[in-house]
Structure 1
Amino acid sequence: MSTAEALVARLRGGLTGAVSGAVSIAAHALGGGGTPSQSAVALLIATTLAVGVVAAGTRLPVAAILVAGQVLGHLVLSLDAGHFHVPGPAMIAGHAVAIAVAALLVVAAERGCRFVLAALRRVAPTPFAPLRVPGAVLVAPRPPVLRGLRRSAGIVPRGPPVTV
């Protein structure tokens, strides 16, 4: 995955997780739920983090991930308040509209990020171009100098000359 695609994937994951949590809290408040406890908020943050990680790591449709995030967020907040109930048609319609709008916004943000990154890639120079490294120079090994053999190599005259 290129750097640009990794950035777009992180953007998708962050936005999907944040929108999932925000819509869960808003729907809970509009549905008459009280203020969530600290433990419910911590569990909701963990849930939205998991939703964001899944959105960043896969190419599943954003709408499908948002639906799963809404279901998980609704379960977390309903279990905390102790009033687990089956959502009514108005709540389901509200969640469906919120998911559709959020999915469109996340996809538009992905496209916008790709557009900006492509424009920057065309305009800005490469910050650190790799240096060309010359190939390795092969050096033939030198045979070891045998000093003892060099002294005794050849015929060496020993003694006085023969004709005197």
Structure 2
Amino acid sequence: MSTRARRAAVARLRGASAGSVSGALSIAAHGWAAGGMPVQSSTLMLLVAASTVVGALVAGLAPLRTTAVGLVAALWGGQLIGHLVMSADMAQMHDMPLWTPAMLGAHLVGAVCAAVVILGAEAAYRIGTAVVRALPVPVSLPAVDEPILPRSVHRDRVILRIFPTETFRTRGPPLAASC
């Protein structure tokens, strides 16, 4: 595996992690700050779409996929997008303000913790692939000495005769059964 392919794999890992963690943390932060309010399915679908965009941006843009600050910024942006998506569901609640310090703090702490976890997963991925790359590769697999079964020249034609005889059978049910 070339260096470019390894970097692309790490970028995909970072993007997928950032997108999925961003959505999950948005749900968790809103649940913590809003007191466990249930989320509607349409809001979840919009959140999945927003998380996919965050993941694609992290995997695609060089500053976001190569630096820790870029990852934290992308996760913070994902938290803000997630907050807006989740707040659209909470718009019917008139007694709660949209931007509370507890809500913003929960999103910020979640983004920083997620960045630490993702950077740790990247380090574990790099270490694991380096170890696998250093392991010796078997030159060839040993040959299995199983006897090859000879093919039979004889082909039984019984089946060809059974099917026509079964379809043209004229016998019906017994007379007592049909009455």
Do both share a fold (TM > 0.5)? yes
Aligned residue number for residue 63 of structure 1? 72
Aligned residue number for residue 152 of structure 2? none
Bigger shift: residues 116-125 or 38-47? 116-125
Change (3 A) 1:124 1:14: farther
- Residue 73 (1) aligns with residue 82 (2): yes
Distance apart, 1:121 and its partner CA: 1.4
Cα deviation 1:47-66 (Å, max 9, x = unaligned): 00111111111232110000
Change (3 A) 1:124 1:80: farther
- List structure 1 runs of 4+ shifted beyond 3 angstroms: 83-86, 124-127
Distance apart, 1:126 and its partner CA: 9.4
Amino acid at match of 1:108: G
Aligned residue number for residue 115 of structure 1? 127
Q: CA RMSD in A?
A: 2.1
Quick one: distance in 1 between partners of 2:41 and 2:103? 24
Secondary structure of residue in 1 paired with 2:132? helix
Paired residues of 1:51 and 1:69 also in contact (CA < 8 A): yes
Which of 34, 39, 48 is the matching residue for 2:51? 48
Distance apart, 1:5 and its partner CA: 1.5
Please tell me whether Structure 1 or Structure 2 has the larger radius of gyration of its CA atoms: 1
TM-score by length of 1: 0.70
Quick one: distance in 2 between partners of 1:39 and 1:94? 23
For residues 12-161 of structure 1, the aligned pairs below 5 Å read 12-32=14-34, 34-59=37-62, 60=64, 61-82=70-91, 83=93, 85-125=97-137
Change (3 A) 1:107 1:126: farther
Unaligned stretches of 5+ in structure 1? 128-164
Change (3 A) 1:89 1:8: same
Quick one: distance in 1 between partners of 2:55 and 2:120? 17
Secondary structure of residue in 1 paired with 2:99? coil
Aligned residue number for residue 137 of structure 1? none
Cα deviation 1:48-104 (Å, max 9, x = unaligned): 011111111123211000011000001011112224844222222222221111111
Unaligned stretches of 5+ in structure 2? 65-69, 140-179
Change (3 A) 1:39 1:78: same
Secondary structure of residue in 2 paired with 1:2? helix
Distance apart, 1:45 and its partner CA: 0.3
The percent identity for this pair of structures is 39
Change (3 A) 1:120 1:75: same
Quick one: distance in 2 between partners of 1:48 and 1:36? 16
